[in-house]
Amino acid sequence: MKQKEIVIIVPGAAPLTKYPIFIRYLFFSILYFLRIKPIKEDHADIWGRKLLRKNGFIWFYWSRKVDNFSLKIAERRLKKVLDSYKNKNIKLVGISIGGQIILETLMKKSYDNVSKIIFIGSINGYHKINFKHKKIINLYSKKDFLTYISIKILSPFHGSRRLYGKNIKNIILPNLTHNQICSDAKVEKGRFKGKSITQIITQLLRD
């Protein structure tokens, strides 16, 4: 009997507008200094409207705070969710720091029923993937400086936008910032020209 397929979307951190005013202005100042456009609209709202209408799509809820404690709680919670769907064919989508939550979770425990993992603008704390997996598709942009800087802070020696290992496919999205990726912008050139990020994800999940 064919397993029922489900897609679990792990979102990134909440936008700065969700944080207390002091932290908000601190981060706005840092991003302004680095000439990085801050993300003001919640990508969870954007992606939720476009993807959660599809059958079999599940939104993974976590605090979406970027402190170490919150990330560890998210990892443990994702493990419980994966354990509860052990009889189903699972595909995972990690957005921004959501990709790192998936990486940390699967490094601690492998799941044979996870058939595909897609990272988009992922803040990867590791560049070499050694855990058991079937297929990873990693989409990133060289213009995504927020991801680049976040990786350098999170894991300066081991992190990378590009991933290395078996069954890994890296796809470069040209000229997209992190803000554009999270806002579901359309790709202007290349293989996916004219398609939005959510349309690309939907296609890759199906292929």
Question: What is the rounded CA–CA span in Å between residue 174 and residue 141?
Answer: 6
Per domain, the residue ranges of the chain are 5-206
Does the pLDDT of residue 23 top 70, yes or no?
no
Other CB atoms within a 10 A radius of the CB of residue 26 amount to 13
Write the class of the CATH domain 5-206: alpha beta
Average pLDDT for the chain: 85
* Structure confidence at residue 39 (pLDDT): 59
Question: What crossing angle do the helices spanning 97-108 and 68-84 adopt, rounded to 10°?
Answer: 60
Question: What is the rounded CA–CA span in Å between residue 109 and residue 206?
Answer: 25
Mean per-residue pLDDT for 109-128?
Answer: 94
Does the pLDDT of residue 163 top 90, yes or no?
yes
pTM: 0.87
How would you write 141-153 as a 3-class SS string?
CCCCHHHHHHHHH
Mean per-residue pLDDT for 75-81?
Answer: 96
